């Protein structure tokens, strides 16, 4: 397995007759051994809205009432809701398009299957069946009205990862990547300390991001702890074992969101069944899609070099040198962190510039400097030249982007399996 499918958005239309026809009928569902009445989808007789409208009351989905204009006309609307699963939620929206009513499904297959997305499957078939399984469990009546053969892909996220030597190097690589763009792949202003984005949300072709996986996990777990009920949070936290976290440490994740126009330009059908058969014939399909997303960025990085400081070692040395124990028995690194902040200021603004920030009569600068040199184990010459990076290690940028596609999962990893896949929707 070379890459992972980390996100899918699907469109599944309802099975409908032509507008204007009476569609109240009974349908037998062989797998459930049940009859369903279908009065829920009605054809509008309004000339201006000639098409389909949905009665969401009878579909038994969560809905809201929306007033249209200034008149006392209310219409049922369905916002995104989260369908329950063992771990993560699957987003569902019933779309009342008058030409083709449908449902949208959006989520992370890896999170749905195993509770985390540090690594996972590249099988589109398994991901698709996972979505169907959860939808069927939550809304069996709604599920029975869908035309699964017409399921389409709106976009998919494919990811691959590489590992760097330390968190310090990881930050420096991300900072360097913020200035990279190529052709139509432009930087997105929505950038954060541990994430770099390319492409806008409105792009009909692709969006890219590179981010630090371990830091993303830590942020997500803090968010889940605040927002989920204790039982749900516990299941997700238990899925993030120490082995999973260890694998994510210093992992740089490259994620490509590929959209309809790009997939069509590649000559691919958007129908899920067609794509699943395509992947069966061509097991490297997802890897090829990932390359199509990132190739222009990788090309732009060829020949570039960057200078790397081993800041993490400096911080580690300071923590060892200035570790103290508080009265309550806890470890404290207050002095180490203060000196590391002083070190970063010199790195950013230069030795002389930082020195000038202190009054000439003050001994504070020299005291901080001496403590820093002693604790970090660096020379005064290194510190004085830190700003111009003369002592940094020069490395080709592409070295940090050299992805080993045969080493994307831990040794002995077993692909997630699930027992409740809908039998009659299996793809041969």
| pLDDT for position 62 | 78
Residue 386 neighbours by CB distance under 10 Å: 20
Q: What is the pLDDT of residues 171-180, one digit of tens each?
A: 878 877 877 7
Q: Quick check: 401 pLDDT over 80?
A: no
Q: What percent of the chain has pLDDT over 90?
A: 32
Which two structure tokens, joined as six digits, stand for 171? 């930050």
Q: Quick check: 35 pLDDT over 70?
A: no
| pLDDT for position 187 | 60
pLDDT, greater one: 184 or 231: 231
Q: Quick check: 222 pLDDT over 90?
A: yes
3-state SS class at 393? strand
118: buried, middle or exposed (CB in 10 Å: 19+, 13-18, 0-12)?
Answer: buried
Q: What is the pLDDT of residues 228-284, one digit of tens each?
A: 888 888 989 999 999 999 999 999 999 999 999 999 999 999 999 999 999 999 999
Q: Quick check: 417 pLDDT over 70?
A: no
Q: What is the 3-state secondary structure (H, E, C) of 41-60?
A: EEECCCHHHCCEEECHHHHC
DSSP for 48-116, please give it: GG-SEEE-HHHHT---EEEE-TTSS-EEEE---EEEP-SSS-EEEEEE--SSS-EEEEEE-HHHHHHS-
**Helix or strand holding residue 154 (H, E):** strand 152-163
Which two structure tokens, joined as six digits, stand for 349? 């603004």
Q: Quick check: 379 pLDDT over 60?
A: yes
Q: In whole angstroms, give the CA distance from residue 10 to residue 92.
A: 10
CA-closest candidate to residue 372, choices 342, 348, 346, 352? 342
Cβ proximity of 30 and 424 under 8 Å: yes
Which pLDDT band, with edges at 50, 70 and 90, does 45 fall under? very low
Q: Kindly state the average pLDDT of the residues 22-33.
A: 47
Q: Quick check: 39 pLDDT over 70?
A: no
Q: Quick check: 49 pLDDT over 90?
A: no
Which two structure tokens, joined as six digits, stand for 70? 């200034």
Q: What is the pLDDT of residues 115-150, one digit of tens each?
A: 899 999 999 998 998 898 888 888 887 888 888 889
Q: In whole angstroms, give the CA distance from residue 320 to residue 315.
A: 9
Which two structure tokens, joined as six digits, stand for 105? 């499904």
Q: Kindly state the average pLDDT of the residues 367-373.
A: 91
- CA–CA distances in Å: residue 254 to residues 110, 117, 199, 265, 302: 16, 13, 14, 22, 17
Q: In whole angstroms, give the CA distance from residue 210 to residue 212.
A: 7
Provide the β-strand partners of residue 152. Answer: 11, 271
Q: In whole angstroms, give the CA distance from residue 419 to residue 317.
A: 51
pLDDT, greater one: 18 or 302: 302
Q: Quick check: 33 pLDDT over 60?
A: no
Domain boundaries, given as residue ranges, for the chain:
4-305+404-425, 310-391
CA-closest candidate to residue 339, choices 329, 353, 354? 354
| pLDDT for position 303 | 65
Q: Quick check: 155 pLDDT over 70?
A: yes
pLDDT, greater one: 201 or 24: 201
- CA–CA distances in Å: residue 112 to residues 93, 132, 134, 233, 364: 18, 12, 9, 14, 54
DSSP for 29-44, please give it: ETTTTEEEE--SEEE-
3-state SS class at 256? strand
Q: Quick check: 366 pLDDT over 60?
A: yes
| pLDDT for position 286 | 95
| pLDDT for position 269 | 94
| pLDDT for position 18 | 57
Q: Quick check: 305 pLDDT over 80?
A: no
Which pLDDT band, with edges at 50, 70 and 90, does 53 fall under? low
User: What predicted TM-score, i.e. pTM, was given to this entire model?
Assistant: 0.73
What stretches of 261-321 adopt beta strand conformation (E)? 305-308
Residue 44 neighbours by CB distance under 10 Å: 14
In eight-state DSSP terms, residue 198 is E
Q: Which of 61-75, 150-164, 284-298 has the lowest mean pLDDT?
A: 61-75
Cβ proximity of 121 and 112 under 8 Å: no
Q: In whole angstroms, give the CA distance from residue 263 to residue 268.
A: 6
**Helix or strand holding residue 292 (H, E):** helix 285-301
């Amino acid at each position: 397995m070379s890459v992972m499918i980390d996100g899918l958005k699907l469109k599944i239309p309802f099975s409908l007759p032509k507008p204007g026809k009476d569609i109240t009928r009974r349908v037998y569902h062989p797998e459930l051994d049940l009859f369903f009445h279908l009065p829920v989808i009605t054809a509008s007789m309004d000339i201006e809205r000639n098409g389909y409208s949905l009665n969401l009351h009878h579909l038994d989905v969560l809905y809201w009432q929306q007033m249209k204009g200034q008149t006392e006309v209310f219409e049922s609307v369905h916002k995104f809701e989260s369908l329950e699963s063992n771990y993560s939620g699957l987003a569902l929206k019933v779309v009342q398009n008058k030409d083709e009513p449908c449902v949208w499904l959006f989520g992370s297959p890896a999170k749905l299957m195993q509770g985390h997305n540090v690594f996972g499957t590249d099988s589109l078939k398994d991901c698709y069946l996972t979505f169907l399984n959860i939808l069927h469990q939550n809304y069996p009546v709604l599920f029975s009205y869908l035309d699964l053969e017409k399921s389409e892909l709106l976009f998919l996220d494919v990811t691959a990862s590489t590992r760097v030597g330390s968190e310090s190097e990881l930050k420096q690589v991300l900072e360097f990547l913020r200035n990279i763009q190529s052709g139509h792949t432009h930087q997105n202003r929505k950038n954060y300390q541990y994430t770099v984005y390319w492409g806008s949300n409105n792009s009909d072709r692709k969006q890219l991001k590179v981010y630090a996986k371990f830091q993303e996990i830590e942020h997500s777990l803090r968010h889940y702890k605040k927002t989920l009920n204790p039982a749900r949070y516990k299941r997700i936290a238990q899925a993030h074992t120490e082995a999973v976290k260890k694998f994510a440490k210093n992992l740089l994740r490259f994620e490509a969101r590929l959209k309809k126009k790009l997939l069509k330009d590649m000559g691919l059908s958007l129908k899920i069944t067609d794509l699943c058969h395509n992947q069966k014939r061509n097991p490297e399909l997802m890897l090829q899609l990932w390359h199509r997303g990132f190739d222009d960025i990788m090309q732009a990085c060829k020949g570039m070099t960057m200078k790397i400081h081993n800041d993490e070692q400096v911080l580690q040395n300071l923590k060892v040198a200035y570790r103290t124990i508080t009265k309550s028995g806890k470890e404290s690194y207050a002095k180490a962190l203060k000196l590391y902040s002083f070190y970063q200021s010199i790195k950013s603004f230069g030795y002389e510039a930082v020195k000038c920030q202190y009054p000439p009569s003050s001994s504070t600068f020299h005291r901080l400097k001496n403590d820093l040199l002693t604790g970090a184990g660096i020379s005064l010459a290194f510190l004085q030249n830190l700003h111009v990076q003369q002592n940094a290690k020069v490395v080709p940028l592409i070295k940090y982007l050299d992805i080993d596609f045969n080493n994307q999962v831990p040794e002995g990893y077993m692909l997630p399996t699930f027992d409740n896949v809908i039998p009659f929707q299996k793809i041969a």
